Structure 1
Amino acid sequence: MKEIIENSLQNAMSYETYRTLVHDLIQEGKSTGVNQSDDLLNYSTLNDKRMKRLDKTIKISEEAKTQVKALEEQRTWLVLTEGWCGDAAQNLPVINKLAEENEQIDLKLVLRDEHPALMDAFLTNGARAIPKLIALDADKNVIGTWGPRPSEATAMVLDYKEKNGKLDAEFKKDLQIWYNKNKGRNTEGDLLSLLS
């Protein structure tokens, strides 16, 4: 496991580099990932706009800032993501804003499809669900994980699947509305628990 994590960190990028990569690929008519399609390009385009807006508008609560700034130990937040993922677009700006509050937190991103061994070590209910944040201590030991959604959204997904068998377009629309109303608060709260 440690070797997989070390290899992934060697290929990891900053949040800013990731944002530039996604944007530049869209300009070329591409999305991140091995599979390319009009749908993935459309999702990536929508997510690029969404992240641009969230980067400007997401505000971290004063309570969260205080908790994050109190962290004295080095942490690495290694996040598996892809540009076409709607949950990643909603959560990465929050993760980034929290990490910016303390230089002890080193945020690193890797593309899921380029790191299958890492992804397969951190599946969610047997699926390659993203974003997936892997919290590491100073010695690169795993001390916790988060993702692919904040806890309230996860409960919504599980409840809907139980009643309807699968997620449909209507639910995905409702989930985006929930994200917009929640303004990253649930993600913020979930991530603070990784610091303790």
Structure 2
Amino acid sequence: MDMGLFEGGATFPEYLKQVGPEFRQRYEKTSLSEEAKVKVRTLGSMRKVVAFSEGYCPDCVAVLPFMERMREENQNISFTIKHKTGNEEALVEAAGESRIPLLMSFGKDGEPLSVFLEFPEKLKDEMRRAAVEDKKDLVVKFREGAYNNMIEEALLDLLKI
């Protein structure tokens, strides 16, 4: 994967200035569990994370504040956000489809580590097993914060901690 992905991206504070107030409100309400904080602090080598997002995406609003909180806990985490619009090819190359949020992590030498696409894998598993009428309810609960523990776990996995 091309490390040029980090060029032209925004930091989370810069991104907050580009999007609606719901991002800032969610970020202000977002905190990591003590267990997640301890794990993030153990990361001893550099991780670069690039996220693709759009301000209108409620799933991005749910996920990205957690990545920023992790970055705040450990200076070894670099976090860049780019808009999906104009970068669809990079999304398809990384994940096979152009869905957001898409987060990709890289190690200190630029080697790709992991990808997070749209929802945590555990939630995707629940969605696959759920009846059609229950899938919307799972998404609503996700967006309301009911699965924040899954987001933390998925992002820790993204960082390979």
Superposition TM-score, scaled by structure 1 size = 0.73
Partners of 2:148 and 2:77 in 1: how far apart? 19
Give, as a single letter, the amino acid of the residue that structure 2 aligns with 1:191: L
Where does residue 10 of structure 2 map in the other structure? 13
Q: Which runs of 5+ in 1 are unaligned?
A: 24-47
Residue 7 of structure 2 is aligned to residue 61 of structure 1: no
RMSD between aligned residues: 2.1
Question: Aligned runs of 1:96-175 on 2, under 5 Å?
Answer: 96-123=68-95, 126-160=96-130, 163-164=131-132, 171-172=135-136, 174-175=138-139
Residue 156 of structure 2 is aligned to residue 188 of structure 1: no
When Rg is computed on C-alpha atoms for both structures, the one with the higher figure is 1
Where does residue 61 of structure 2 map in the other structure? 89
Partners of 2:143 and 2:56 in 1: how far apart? 17
- Whether the 8 Å contact between 1:68 and 1:195 is mirrored in structure 2 is no
- Whether the 8 Å contact between 2:45 and 2:108 is mirrored in structure 1 is yes
Superposition TM-score, scaled by structure 2 size = 0.87
Partners of 1:76 and 1:10 in 2: how far apart? 12
154 and 178 in structure 1: CA distance in 2 versus 1, 3 angstrom threshold? same
- Whether the 8 Å contact between 2:37 and 2:73 is mirrored in structure 1 is yes
145 and 192 in structure 1: CA distance in 2 versus 1, 3 angstrom threshold? same
Question: Aligned runs of 1:35-46 on 2, under 5 Å?
Answer: none
- Whether the 8 Å contact between 2:58 and 2:143 is mirrored in structure 1 is no
- Percent of counterpart pairs with the same letter? 20
Between the two proteins, the alignment pairs up a number of residues equal to: 160
